[in-house]
Amino acid sequence: MDKMKGLVAIVTGASRGLGRAIAMEYAGEGASVAICARQSSPTGLPGTIGETAQAIRDSGGEVLTAACDVAVEEQVADMVRQVKDRYGRIDVLVNNAGSMVLGESILEIDPARWDQVMLANVRGPYLFSRAVLPVMMEQRRGSIINLGSRMGNDPSQGGGILYSSSKAAVHMFSFCLADEVREFNIAVNVLSPGSLRSEGSAAIPWTQRDWHERVDPREVGPSAVWLALQDASSFTGQLVLRAEFGRTWGT
């Protein structure tokens, strides 16, 4: 229960689903957790960072909350500043916040929608990584975990032109960043969680076809903890599948 004792982790998009599950797993392993999300879901999905924070506190964990749009540079910088001022360090960043658009063709996706998803899915990880890296570089250790997807490298998975393009960009961003910060002993990896039973997935009608095969977001927790404990000397620049944790990686 104390694998992450003494560590400070930022988890974006932690008001529900996977972000909430990872934040609670980290807190349960002893980390001080900073969580953020927008004030309210633009799609009306349930869950707030206040509810996640209360659940963490109820279980005895330490948490800092911030309302933050990951695509807005000033809000990202302000949150990272709050975390550094309160805890004095930042050890882990989980870039989980994002948007999903599935099943729509290029002619159905207008430019504003394209930009909205790319801002959340690609600009967000860029801004947060850029903001925390000076702290991690000074520490000469850190772990950045970006959420990827099989849809980012396999068009047959049904991600569509927008979501798949955004995740492919996250994958390559992560690989290049891993090389760039290796000398500072900072790990950068991509975690593909697989199909989840989350609030966001429940809002997509066709996910009901394989709902029984999907996993609870809490099952991703142990693999996210393992990645959080890595640095550039142990494991970096990798795209890993949660379903293979403990078999092909994380052993």
Contact 140, 181 (CB under 8 A): no
Tokens in use for 40? 């309210």
Q: Cα separation of 127 and 12, whole Å?
A: 12
The side-by-side arrangement of strands in the sheet containing 92-95 is 62-67, 32-37, 8-12, 92-95, 142-147, 186-192, 239-241
Residue whose C-alpha is closest to residue 130's, from 97, 164, 173: 173
How far is residue 201 from each of residues 1, 15, 100, 209, 213, measured CA to CA in Å? 30, 15, 9, 11, 13
Contact 5, 31 (CB under 8 A): yes
Is residue 87 among the annotated active site residues? no
Which residues lie closer than 8 Å to 24 by C-beta, 6 or more apart? 52, 55, 56, 59, 61, 218, 221
Provide the 10 A C-beta neighbour count for residue 20: 28
Contact 149, 31 (CB under 8 A): no
Which one of 26, 87, 126, 163 is the catalytic residue?
Answer: 163
Active site residues: 163
